[in-house]
Amino acid sequence: MERRTFMVMLSGAGAIVVARRAAEAQPAARVPRMGYVTTNQAAGHALEAFRQELRDLGYVEGRNVVIEYRAAEGKSERLPALAAELVALKVDVIVAPTTPAALAAKQATRTLPIVFIGAGDPVTDGLVTSLARPGGNVTGLSSVAPDLVGKRLEQLKEAVPGVSGLAVLWDPSGSGERTNKDMLKAADVAARALGVRPQFVEARGPADFNRAFTEMTRARAGALMVVGSAMFTNERRRLVDLAATNRLPTMYTLREFVDAGGLMSYGVSMADLFRRAATYADKILKGAKPADLPVEQPTKFELAINLKAAKALGLSIPESLLRRADEVMR
């Protein structure tokens, strides 16, 4: 081999080695990290909708996105520590699917972006300054919880037309203090407008359930409405069983209660909210600021009715109500 040809080949091989070493020396592209903090892990199909939307947007967990999950196992007092944990991990965005979780995250950081899901009234609860201009590091999707209370009672009265006494089961830690007051006030106004006597029964945890249902029985409640709460959702099977045992036709906020055997539910499609929250997280990971992303209202609502539960209670659901249902379980 001629010396000139050999030297050219040698220099070419050297260039390849140098290029390879330079490439290996380059830092790997940083994988974005999301934090997910919630009161409990009962999101079910809604959380899967969030993950599916992320996949549709091109994210693969463990490959080009890492999600740090933290759940308080129904104990709201643990949320501040869990949120602080995610802040210490320096995640790029925190997703909080309950109002208490979002408030804990906001308390833990004023800089890391936060996306809440299903907050009852984010302005009243102090998450944002306004829906159109959130104004800080927090934005997300509202469930307009107080606005739906009257509609739930109307549908429950339609299913149980002869009811005169209505129990309202609520959890003080289920939403922010102001939103709780607004929902209870809305329930009182709506019940009286329907000619029904309301009874408000508080349950702070599962240990209060037996006492709560005893109070309802003593007051001769003829029906029950359960106000939205992550703790109630986590304990939905027990609540559904207690309602059935005490023969109380019950209106719930989420379809999961009807899946568990409850009579009926009306509320926001949480799967839809979770899906849309994934698009918010995607925008933030791509550089958008929460202050520039208006809080969105729900656009999809679901009425679900369980005819097996109705039959067990001796109820005949009006055809007019069945026609309006999004799902009828037979």
pLDDT in tens, 147-167: 899 999 999 999 999 999 999
Cα(259)–Cα(279) distance, integer angstroms: 27
Asked if pLDDT for residue 60 goes beyond 60, the answer is: yes
Q: What is the mean pLDDT of the chain?
A: 90
Secondary element (H or E) of residue 146? helix 145-159
Collapsing DSSP states into helix, strand and coil, what is residue 63? coil
Pairing of strands 264-268, 301-306: antiparallel
- Give residue 119's pLDDT band: very low, low, confident or very high (50, 70, 90): confident
Tell me the DSSP string of 94-110.
EEESSHHHHHHHHHH-S
The long-range contacts involving 76-80, CB below 8 angstroms and separated by at least 24 positions, are 76/39, 76/100, 76/173, 76/230, 76/231, 79/37, 79/39, 79/103, 79/104, 80/104, 80/107, 80/108
For the chain, the helix, strand and coil percentages under 3-state DSSP, each to the nearest 5: 45, 20, 35
How far is the CA of 197 from the CAs of 21, 119, 161, 194, 214, in angstroms?
78, 28, 13, 9, 17
**What architecture does CATH give domain 33-144+269-300?**
3-Layer(aba) Sandwich (3.40)
The long-range contacts involving 7-14, CB below 8 angstroms and separated by at least 24 positions, are none
Asked if pLDDT for residue 23 goes beyond 70, the answer is: no
Cα(269)–Cα(291) distance, integer angstroms: 25
Cα(65)–Cα(54) distance, integer angstroms: 9
pLDDT reported for residue 240? 98
User: Which pair of tokens denotes residue 183?
Assistant: 């929902």
33-144+269-300 with 145-268+302-329: one CATH topology? yes
Task: Give residues with Cβ within 8 angstroms of 43, minimum separation 6.
Answer: 50, 97, 270, 274
- Give residue 22's pLDDT band: very low, low, confident or very high (50, 70, 90): very low
Asked if pLDDT for residue 78 goes beyond 80, the answer is: yes
pLDDT tens sequence across 172-200: 988 888 888 999 999 999 999 999 999 99
Mean pLDDT value of segment 298-304: 93
CATH of 145-268+302-329, picked from 3.40.50.360, 3.40.50.2300, 3.20.20.150, 3.30.1330.10, is 3.40.50.2300
- Give residue 28's pLDDT band: very low, low, confident or very high (50, 70, 90): low
Question: How do the domains of the chain map onto residue ranges?
Answer: 33-144+269-300, 145-268+302-329
Query: What percentage of the chain has pLDDT greater than the value 90?
Result: 76
Of 105, 121, 110, 99, nearest to 36 by C-alpha is 105
Helix axes 270-285, 45-56, angle to 10 degrees: 40
How far is the CA of 88 from the CAs of 71, 81, 91, 112, in angstroms?
16, 10, 8, 11
When comparing pLDDT for 309 and 228, which is higher? 309
DSSP count for the chain of H helices, then E strands: 13, 12
pLDDT reported for residue 39? 82
Task: Give residues with Cβ within 8 angstroms of 121, minimum separation 6.
Answer: 142, 144, 145, 146, 175, 176, 178, 179, 182
- pTM here is 0.81
pLDDT reported for residue 154? 96
pLDDT reported for residue 20? 53
- Give residue 82's pLDDT band: very low, low, confident or very high (50, 70, 90): very high
Tell me the DSSP string of 187-234.
HHHHHHHTT-EEEEEE-SSGGGHHHHHHHHHHTT-SEEEEPP-HHHHH
**Residue 69 CB-half CA count within 13 A:** 10
The CA-to-CA distance between both ends of the chain, in Å, stands at: 86
Cα(246)–Cα(60) distance, integer angstroms: 46
Secondary element (H or E) of residue 119? strand 114-119
pLDDT tens sequence across 318-327: 999 999 999 9
Asked if pLDDT for residue 14 goes beyond 60, the answer is: no
Amino acid residing at 304: A
pLDDT reported for residue 173? 85
